[in-house]
Amino acid sequence: MVEIVYVMTPGVSVNQDGGLLVLEQDHKVLRELPMATVGTLVVGRTTQLSTQVMYSLVQQGSLIQFVDHAYRLVGTLGDEKTSLSKLLWQTRYFQDESFALMGAQYIVQKKIQAQISILEQYSKTKALPNYDFVRKTLYGLLKRVGKVRTIDGLRGMEGLASKTYFSVWGACLSEPWKFTGRKRHPSPDPVNALLSYGYSFLEREVRACLLTAGLDVRIGLLHSTNNRKDSLVYDLMDLVRQEVMDRFILKVLNRHMVNDTDFEITERGCFISKAAQKNWVSLYESYMTTTVKRFGGMSPRQWIQQCVKDCMSYLDQISDVNADMEVKTVS
């Protein structure tokens, strides 16, 4: 089984002994595991990482992700397999307005469907305010997705759907949690803080899938392609954001797997505490590696990988159609 290994404790060194990855601290072995089972190694600033380990992991196609103290991604080493053919394919088609629109419609449709699914489930046991109006609005937006003719129009529709969805999301929560809407930069409360924190983990999952597939994460469809963010990562996150992360966070909060003392509120906003971060990683990894019925018996991590593959297959299909149309036009 391929796994993600987190090494964030100060003073821990990561070494290699033959085919084993060895975690040590103060000359004591903390853990040993086969190198071949490591799909991604996540390390913090104070981790001591040997050149031998870096070489071996990169050689076998694994990723090494460097994160800050809050597990936010700083950079990635390894598995930069963007092929020339895929780069040319992305450059040719993702910049084509009609192709990008169809790809973006696919993403937004999946996202709104997931938002509707979550609210429909919770409406059976919770009193969601103005639910009939919210449901009608989301279904109306879903029907209009295929009729939008510009990417900007689709972005506006996606933004309205998310605002509508989050307007009642707080009613899905149990006491003592309060949520009046999605806010970030900074997060003003524990629920928003946990959403932002969870999405940062989801970002790394999706990024790993795209890098492994040999795609250039900078060239996207729905999100603007610019020099400031990796647009394709954020595009594909929207395919799985609600089903994977929103459902998990609702579960964590409603089952009191975290509590209000796990958060720190300062002038800079609300943040999950350092002590609680370790608990989160444990909860998160257990969730991501456990099979889920609604995912067809796959784990959330496997389901994310499948969703990325399905999306890429769809894009391949419409690029083939576009290519055939271009040939007919020329002839």
- CB atoms closer than 10 angstroms to residue 141: 21
Mean pLDDT of 153-176: 96
State both tokens at 133: 């109006």
- Judged against a pLDDT cut of 50, whether residue 116 lies above it is answered with yes
Please give the Cα distance from 70 to 200 (Å, whole number). 9
| Banded model confidence at residue 270, pLDDT cuts 50, 70, 90 | very high
What percentage of residues in the chain have a pLDDT greater than 70?
93
Question: Is domain 84-323 classified as CATH 1.10.287.110?
Answer: no
- Establish whether domains 3-77 and 84-323 are of one fold: no
Q: In one letter, which amino acid is 221?
A: L
Contact 7, 23 (CB under 8 A): yes
Give the class (CATH, top level) of 3-77.
alpha beta
Of 38-42, 71-75, 197-201, 312-316, the least confident: 71-75
Mean pLDDT of the chain: 90
pLDDT at 64 over 70: yes
Could you tell me the pLDDT band of residue 183, with boundaries at 50, 70 and 90?
A: very high
- Residue keyed to tokens 């963007």: 82
Flag whether pLDDT at 327 surpasses 80. no
Q: What sign does the CA torsion over 37, 211, 157, 186 have?
A: positive
The mean per-residue pLDDT over the stretch 302-311 comes to: 94
Mean pLDDT is lowest, of 47-51, 102-106, 153-157, 327-331, for 327-331
Ordered by start, the domain boundaries in the chain are 3-77, 84-323
Q: What is the pLDDT of residue 50?
A: 93
Which pLDDT score, from 0 to 100, does residue 75 have?
A: 85
What pTM was estimated for this model as a whole? 0.85
Whether omega for the bond prior to residue 186 falls within 30 degrees of 0, making it cis, is yes
> What is the b/e burial string over 94-105, where b = at least 16 CB atoms within 10 angstroms of the residue's CB?
beeeebbbbbbb
Residue 325 has pLDDT above 60, yes or no: no
Whether the CB-CB separation of 69 and 45 falls below 8 Å is answered with: yes
Residue with tokens 């999301």: 169
Distances (CA, A) of 272 to 69, 101, 121, 265, 300: 11, 37, 28, 9, 23
* Residue 230, pLDDT score: 87
Asked whether residue 301 carries a pLDDT value surpassing 60, the answer given is yes
Instruction: Compute the CA torsion angle 228, 314, 100, 211 (nearest 10 deg).
Output: 20
Residue bearing the bigger pLDDT, 230 or 174: 174
